[in-house]
């Protein structure tokens, strides 16, 4: 950490809405260690089960994890989560900017979208888009596409709110300073507001990613061969519910712990860069 | 007429039920340094912010270098690029280094390449006296240093006019001078400047004109010497007696 002595004296000013990194720096180091230990512990537990009880757990893990070439199990879960999340970020950013513009039509579109989508469970969106829409449109939507659309639609609304809050947390003077230099609204957003907002919203955004990773298990009802679906199939064949679902659970845990660590690392990097 | 770089004609501005600017008329000539004083809430900051369209006027016209800001066809971004603004709260971009703070608008607005923008930035940092801070971030600078970077950032656009909105009000006393020195230097180079400030020393040294505003109106428009020596208006006298008493 580049904690410089002179930065401690710097006066707080309105443009520093992103601040507050310095005092947390040390305690974050400690927390980091604990959480890494938890991740390592979870991985060690899997190794213990896999190699210690190979007959009991070996086939379970091999089946539910799937293979890269097949793109099933863990690979399906990750593919679905990452692809959906890219679209979710795009929707959230655009709709979030709409929400804070002075254009009432764009504001209204964004608010309406958020209010409607937030009020319906993700599972219902998923069912409706996969089973309901094809009947109306007279065309079959592939299950993976349907899942990406449903997640983008549903999570986009939460992401809109996160972006809106992030943008609004940046002091008004930042936009004024950028505009006073002759930048257009879009240039000011792109170069000044969004880069600062992204730093602010990184924790809630990565939280959304982890939540999505878990909610992606909902697609197992569409027949998509994700981690959860593979687990259910294995239980159907072998009736080893306790072992199989335990294996599924710990696999999700490892994934989520890993991505949480990753986001914390990125957050720290950005905090250091800013100084 | 052509010599008036700023023309403010019959401007009214309302904030809800508050009449912030009440029929303001004011011309600023090229190269003139105008200091605007007045009690808090008198509309002086609002007037300054109207000149680069950060606030829109309700009626009347503001012409900057002959361009009417209130006309629908006016490209406000092009006009703003010609007007530098320095804020009370500095408003530096905290995620960018000092160098990038000064270079960004040069690149995206003036379309200069990075090398030209950096050359300009270093020249200006030299001029405001902190060339060694080019790679520091705003959070590592003192208030006075930040404000000097903010001035350099505005000057990098080669503006025709510089607006200062209480540039020293957020500074610790020992940092005020370093900012005023930069402003004084700027005034001597012939820059057109409009400054809302309560630094009477600066007004005396740099300004040819001083304007006293109260309740959204221009009450007096005279030279600093005349204003301090013989204020014509009772409100001006009261105000001056308060700020000059101690």
Give the residue from chain A lying closest to B95, CA to CA.
A274
Strand, coil or helix: B134: coil
- Cα separation, A106 vs A98, whole angstroms: 5
Q: Would an 8 Å CB–CB cutoff place A204 in contact with chain B?
A: no
Asked whether residue B129 carries a pLDDT value surpassing 90, the answer given is: yes
pLDDT at residue number A271: 73
Residue with tokens 């300004």: B207
More confident residue, B21 or B228: B21
Q: Which of A181, A183, A186 is the mutation pick for testing B, counting most B CBs within 10 A?
A: A181
Give the residue from chain B lying closest to A4, CA to CA.
B140
Asked whether residue B186 carries a pLDDT value surpassing 60, the answer given is: yes
| Closest Cβ opposite residue B77 in set A14, A173, A183 | A183
Asked whether this complex has an ipTM greater than 0.85, the answer is yes
Q: Angle at Cα A31 formed by Cα A28 and Cα A33, nearest 5°?
A: 115
Structure confidence by residue, pLDDT tens digits, B79-99 = 999 999 999 999 999 999 999
Taking contacts as CB-CB distances below 8 angstroms, the residues of chain B near A177 are 85, 87, 91-93, 150
Residue B89 to chain A, least CA–CA distance (Å):
7
pLDDT at residue number A26: 55
Other CB atoms within a 10 A radius of the CB of residue B9 amount to 16
| Tens of each residue's pLDDT in chain A, 275 residues | 343 444 333 343 334 444 444 455 555 555 556 778 888 999 999 899 999 988 888 888 899 898 888 888 899 999 999 999 999 999 999 999 999 998 999 999 999 999 999 899 999 999 999 998 888 888 888 999 999 999 999 999 999 999 999 999 999 999 999 999 999 999 999 999 999 999 899 999 999 999 999 999 999 988 888 999 999 999 999 998 999 999 999 999 999 999 988 888 888 887 765 54
Q: Angle at Cα A100 formed by Cα A99 and Cα A102, nearest 5°?
A: 105
Give the residue from chain B lying closest to A191, CA to CA.
B104
Other CB atoms within a 10 A radius of the CB of residue A9 amount to 8
Asked whether residue B179 carries a pLDDT value surpassing 50, the answer given is: yes
Q: What residue ranges do the domains of chain A occupy?
A: 38-49+58-274
Structure confidence by residue, pLDDT tens digits, A40-70 = 999 999 899 999 988 888 888 899 898 888 8
Asked whether residue B2 carries a pLDDT value surpassing 60, the answer given is: no
User: Which H or E run includes B217?
Assistant: strand B217-222
Domain covering A38-49+58-274, topology: MetI-like fold (1.10.3720)
Q: Put the strands of the sheet holding B217-222 in their side by side order.
A: B83-86, B161-165, B192-196, B33-37, B209-214, B217-222
pLDDT at residue number A7: 38
- Predicted TM-score of the model (pTM): 0.83
Q: Where does the pLDDT of residue B246 fall: very low under 50, low under 70, confident under 90, or very high at 90 and above?
A: low
Q: Do A18 and B94 touch (CB under 8 A)?
A: yes
């Amino acid at each position: 950490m580049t904690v410089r002595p002179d930065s401690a004296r710097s006066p707080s000013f309105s443009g520093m809405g992103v601040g507050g990194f310095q005092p947390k720096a040390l305690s974050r180091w400690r927390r980091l260690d604990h959480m890494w230990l938890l991740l390592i512990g979870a991985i060690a537990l899997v190794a213990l089960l896999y190699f210690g009880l190979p007959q009991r757990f070996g086939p379970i893990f091999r089946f539910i994890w799937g293979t890269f070439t097949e793109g099933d199990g863990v690979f399906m879960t990750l593919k679905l989560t990452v692809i959906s999340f890219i679209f979710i970020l795009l929707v959230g950013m655009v709709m979030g900017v709409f929400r804070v513009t002075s254009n009432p039509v764009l504001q209204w579109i964004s608010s309406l979208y958020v209010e409607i989508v937030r009020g319906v469970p993700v599972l219902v969106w998923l069912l409706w888009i996969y089973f309901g829409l094809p009947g109306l449109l007279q065309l079959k939507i592939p299950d993976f596409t349907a899942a990406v659309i449903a997640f983008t639609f549903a999570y986009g609304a939460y992401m809109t709110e996160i972006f809106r809050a992030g943008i609004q947390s940046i002091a008004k003077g930042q936009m004024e300073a950028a505009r006073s230099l002759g930048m257009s609204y879009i240039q000011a957003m792109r170069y000044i507001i969004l880069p600062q907002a992204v730093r602010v919203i990184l924790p809630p955004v990565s939280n959304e990613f982890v939540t999505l990773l878990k909610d992606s298990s909902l697609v197992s009802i569409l027949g998509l061969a994700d981690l959860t679906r593979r687990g259910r199939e294995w239980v159907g064949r072998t009736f080893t519910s306790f072992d199989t679902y335990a294996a599924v659970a710990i696999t999700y845990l490892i994934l989520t712990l890993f991505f949480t660590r990753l986001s914390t690392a990125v957050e720290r990097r950005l905090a250091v860069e800013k100084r | 007429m052509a010599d008036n770089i700023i023309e403010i004609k019959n401007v009214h501005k309302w904030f809800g039920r508050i009449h912030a600017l009440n029929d303001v008329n004011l011309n600023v000539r090229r190269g003139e340094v105008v200091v605007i004083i007045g009690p808090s809430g008198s509309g002086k900051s609002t007037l300054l912010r109207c000149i680069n369209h950060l606030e829109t006027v309700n009626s009347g016209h503001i012409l900057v270098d002959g361009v009417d800001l209130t006309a629908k066809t006016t490209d406000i971004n092009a006009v703003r690029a010609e007007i530098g603004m320095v804020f009370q709260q500095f408003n530096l971009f905290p995620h960018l280094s000092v160098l990038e703070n000064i270079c960004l608008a040069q690149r995206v607005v003036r379309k200069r390449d990075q090398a030209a923008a950096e050359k300009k930035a270093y020249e200006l940092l030299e001029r405001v006296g902190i060339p060694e801070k080019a790679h520091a971030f705003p959070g590592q600078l003192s208030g006075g240093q930040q404000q000097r970077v903010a001035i350099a950032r505005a000057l990098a656009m080669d503006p025709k006019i510089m607006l200062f909105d209480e540039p020293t009000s957020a500074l610790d006393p020992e940092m005020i001078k370093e900012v005023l020195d930069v402003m004084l230097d700027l005034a001597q180079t012939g820059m057109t400047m409009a400054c809302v400030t309560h630094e009477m020393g600066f007004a005396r040294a740099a300004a040819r004109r001083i304007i006293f505003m109260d309740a959204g109106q221009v009450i007096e428009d005279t030279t600093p010497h005349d204003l301090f020596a013989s204020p014509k208006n009772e409100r001006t006298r009261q105000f001056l007696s308060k700020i000059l008493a101690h």
